[in-house]
Structure 1
Amino acid sequence: MPEYKTRVSYRTLGPNKTAGNLSCGFLHKPDDGGSNRDITFAYYGGLILLDGEGEYFDRSHPGVKLSRGSFVQRLPGVKHSTIVKPDGKWLEFFICVSAESYHNLLTMGLMSDRPVMNCEEDALEEILPAARNLLSAMQSAEGQALTRLYFEAQQLLCTITSRCSRSREEDDRIRLACRLMERYSGRITGQEIAAQMNLGYEALRKQFRASTGISIGQYAIGIRVNRAKALLLRSNLPLEKLALQLGYPDCFSFCKQFKQHTGVSPSQFRRMN
């Protein structure tokens, strides 16, 4: 993208450089010297990768692949690394604001705490003109005009967040976890899934809930209950045998979980259908 070269603006509102941090710009990082390893920001920084590739690491995300459209949130107080693939292509647009501003937006549900998300191409076409305008205005603004731009920067961050989804790598992980649960008919624990995927359980647990809105355990129960429904409809097996076939220790445990999930007992479900 030859039209975008390194062009930045670092400004401060008030006497405190961290609390009043307002900066943005386009950064071209041609080699590994542009990487940041084990760094912790006292403020918030968000960047959209416009060209090139790399990886993001933190304690809960052990290597998320970055490519065009990746939106990386460098969250305040979180030790992380962003590694630049040294092929001369890396180009990013970044915005930095105070940690307090980020947390206020997060509390209002206008931003996310996921460190890496993905912007589709049509979202970039909407975001880039606003990014260029913000940078141009910041380079010459003073006084009240700079204060107004601080809010415009926050608004742009909210727009970016609203147009983003999970990272591609997180999507792949969640799909694999779901396939494993289907393969084992729900009879597999979150810890066992994480071990098969060579992931930490806590990282997988958080990503799965953020993606699906439910826990790994709840998803697994849903698989077992759906299998139970199919067996109830196509067989006349006594409930005791059906429970054992589904992996429950006894009929009582099966009936209790089935009713909690569906609102009716297995016997009632069988009669209804």
Structure 2
Amino acid sequence: MLQIPEKLFVTRSVHRTLGLDPNNSILSCGFIHHTRHLPQNENLVFKYYGALLLLSGEGTYLDKDGKSTRIYPGCFVQRLPYIKHSTITKEDGKWLEFFVCFGYETYRSLRHMGLLLDQPVLSPGLSQSLLDRCLLLYDHLEHSTQEQLPYLLLEAQQLVFGIYDMHRRQSLRPSVRTLLYEARDLLGSGQIPDDSCRGTAEYLGLGYENFRKLFRQEFHMPPHTYLIQKRLNSAKELLLQDSLSIQEIAARTGYPDSFSFSKQFKKYTTLTPRQFRALHQVPGADRGSARQT
């Protein structure tokens, strides 16, 4: 267990803003030490993203429905925007947290990209390197100029992503992680009879819903999104070959027909396959051999 230096058991924080709207421009972090439960930590609703890494002490997290989760050193508690929650502190004088906050629009963008989870309590554990990163962010933010704040916003996000990575490594057994990487290679490869997301999960002996959850935790996107990206990347390479028709490319990349392929290709690239091929045509090349049925 990481020993927290006694000198850190002092409340100190730094709060900055990158713009005029406090809910979207907030950037803050710091250490909070208290010896008793504070009523103001009950039924909280943040209008921005906040999170705390518990360094010392114990308590209970209550979600919007009153479901309780025990929290202890090494827990990472996400205070998700506009969701009511409570944090009940054990009154033993040991509570010390490091918190970080950034704006709602930043949170929403990261959530939309699948980079942040809606799971309120994670278990990354503690390490000296993680504590050092918390101290470094605090020091950087405390002594920053206004011009440096965008870079520190990225540093705050990188800290959260690092904590996410620690949580994944703590929660996944090596055997499960091996299966997930095998699933990633099999998706859309044509190596198994049904290389769809559900077919791949069944082939590896994983329950589909659990597979979706674990795949997203490990690779920051749902397996269906990964499969689409993989198929479209293969299609783009094949479209550069003059000898293949759109129908042939659709079949090779796992689509039932050229219509389904073209529809999804345009949805994700804003171009039809023919437009993509024409855009990447080498000037002066003879494309007469292309058979675009």
TM-score, structure 2 normalization:
0.55
Shift of the 38–167 alpha-carbon distance from structure 1 to 2, 3 Å rule, reads farther
Counterpart check, 1:55 vs 2:60: yes
Over 6 Å off, 4+ runs? none
CA distance in 1, matches of 2:59, 2:103: 26
Corresponding residue for 1:22? 27
Whichever residue aligns with residue 153 of structure 1, its letter is: A
Higher strand share: 1
Counterpart check, 1:100 vs 2:98: no
Whichever residue aligns with residue 99 of structure 1, its letter is: Y
Shift of residue 167 of structure 1? 10
CA distance in 2, matches of 1:210, 1:140: 49
- Residues matched between the structures, number: 173
Whichever residue aligns with residue 127 of structure 1, its letter is: L
Corresponding residue for 1:226? none
Out of 128, 150, 165, the residue aligned to residue 125 of structure 1 is 128
Corresponding residue for 2:146? 143
Whichever residue aligns with residue 114 of structure 1, its letter is: Q
CA distance in 1, matches of 2:169, 2:98: 19
CA distance in 2, matches of 1:71, 1:58: 14
Q: Once the two structures are aligned, what percentage of the paired residues are identical?
A: 39
Out of 134, 142, 146, the residue aligned to residue 137 of structure 2 is 134
Whichever residue aligns with residue 128 of structure 1, its letter is: L
Out of 50, 59, 65, the residue aligned to residue 70 of structure 2 is 65
Shift of residue 42 of structure 1? 0.3
**How do 1:98-247 residues align onto structure 2 when only pairs under 5 Å count?**
98-121=103-126, 124-165=127-168, 212-213=210-211
CA distance in 1, matches of 2:125, 2:53: 11
TM-score, structure 1 normalization:
0.58
Shift of residue 13 of structure 1? 0.9
> Residues 188-238 of structure 1, C-alpha deviation per residue, up to 9 Å, x if partnerless?
xxxxxxxxxxxxxxxxxxxxx9983379xxxxxxxxxxxxxxxxxxxxxxx
Matched-pair contact (CA < 8 Å) for 1:54–1:67? yes
CA distance in 1, matches of 2:47, 2:67: 22
**How do 1:257-268 residues align onto structure 2 when only pairs under 5 Å count?**
none
CA RMSD of aligned residues (A): 2.5
Corresponding residue for 2:199? none
Shift of the 116–129 alpha-carbon distance from structure 1 to 2, 3 Å rule, reads same
Matched-pair contact (CA < 8 Å) for 1:70–1:117? yes
SS in 2 for 1:25: strand
Give the unaligned 5+ runs of structure 2. Answer: 172-206, 214-293
Counterpart check, 1:3 vs 2:13: no
CA distance in 1, matches of 2:66, 2:210: 18
> Residues 112-152 of structure 1, C-alpha deviation per residue, up to 9 Å, x if partnerless?
1100010123xx32221111111011112112212211111
Shift of the 125–99 alpha-carbon distance from structure 1 to 2, 3 Å rule, reads same
CA distance in 2, matches of 1:160, 1:66: 16
Shift of the 120–210 alpha-carbon distance from structure 1 to 2, 3 Å rule, reads farther
Out of 13, 19, 23, the residue aligned to residue 18 of structure 2 is 13
SS in 2 for 1:18: helix
Matched-pair contact (CA < 8 Å) for 1:35–1:82? no
